Amino acid sequence: MGTVSKFEIAKMIDHSLLHPTMDDQTLREGIELARKYDVASVCIKPYAVKMAADMLKGSDVMVCTVIGFPHGNSRVDVKVYETERAIDDGAVEIDMVVNTGKVLSEDWDYVTDEIGAIVAVTKKHGAALKVIFENDFLTEEKHKIKLCEICSELKVEFVKTSTGYGFVKQPDGSYGYRGATHDDLVLMRKHSDPSVEVKAAGGVRTLEDTLKVRELGVTRIGATATETIILAVDGKKAGESPEGY
């Protein structure tokens, strides 16, 4: 794959272990897989952060977890508490979902104060913050642009497209999501400060997908198909990956 190494691809990946149906054994197997391939991080359910931290001791794989997940509707003080507990348990990266209702209300003071409250905790403890926009719920570019500007002003480490669980009701009554789209990634990279990295989550399932978003300036992806992506660098195939983001 040209000059792109397995190591470079692996260090783009937050191995996602967030699906509600994942039991403890599945989580352990996922953590072991992440350690085997030396990915950037394991993004795991909040209750399992301590387990992941214990299992990943001595490795370069970081522990990441989610806050206000997946809908972002918790009170600010609850999100702050979640963040503090997660860091206490061993998380060094925090993926927080913004309050979509407040974004759509254009209550930018609230949104800024909320993200700022989480930033204060992560900066204090040397943890990285990724702010999840949930772009499927944001139909107007101005909302995404404003979020990029707020995140840049607050000096968060990453802006992130989606949770992978932001399902939108379709005309036929079914629910679906697009996840990380080309246009959204271009917009987020363009309107975020150069110091703010971009994470693509939702729909990045192959090495080809990974390379495409990398070309757009994405430095991290959320993936369940980690083994498939990494083995593809050497032209190998893996078994089916579990459904999810």
* Residue of 136, 146, 160, 184 marked catalytic: 160
As to burial, measured by CB atoms within 10 angstroms (0-12 exposed, 13-18 middle, 19+ buried), residue 190 is: exposed
Question: Three-class SS of residue 159?
Answer: strand
* Residue of 79, 130, 144, 199 marked catalytic: 199
Question: Three-class SS of residue 50?
Answer: helix
Alpha-carbon distances of 47 from 44, 65, 137, 171, 192, rounded to whole Å: 8, 9, 27, 36, 32
Find where tokens 């352990």 sit: 28
| Amino acid making up residue 25 | Q
Q: Are the CB atoms for 10 and 229 separated by under 8 Å? A: no
**How many CB atoms sit inside 10 A of residue 101's CB?**
13
Indicate if 95 belongs to the active site: yes
Identify the CA nearest to 40 among candidates 72, 20, 62. Answer: 62
Question: What are the two backbone dihedrals, phi and then psi, of residue 63, each rounded to the nearest 5 degrees?
Answer: -105, 125
Strands 62-67 and 158-160: unpaired
Identify the CA nearest to 239 among candidates 221, 222, 227. Answer: 227
* Residue of 14, 89, 95, 184 marked catalytic: 95
Alpha-carbon distances of 140 from 122, 130, 226, rounded to whole Å: 29, 21, 32
Task: State the catalytic residues.
Answer: 95, 160, 199
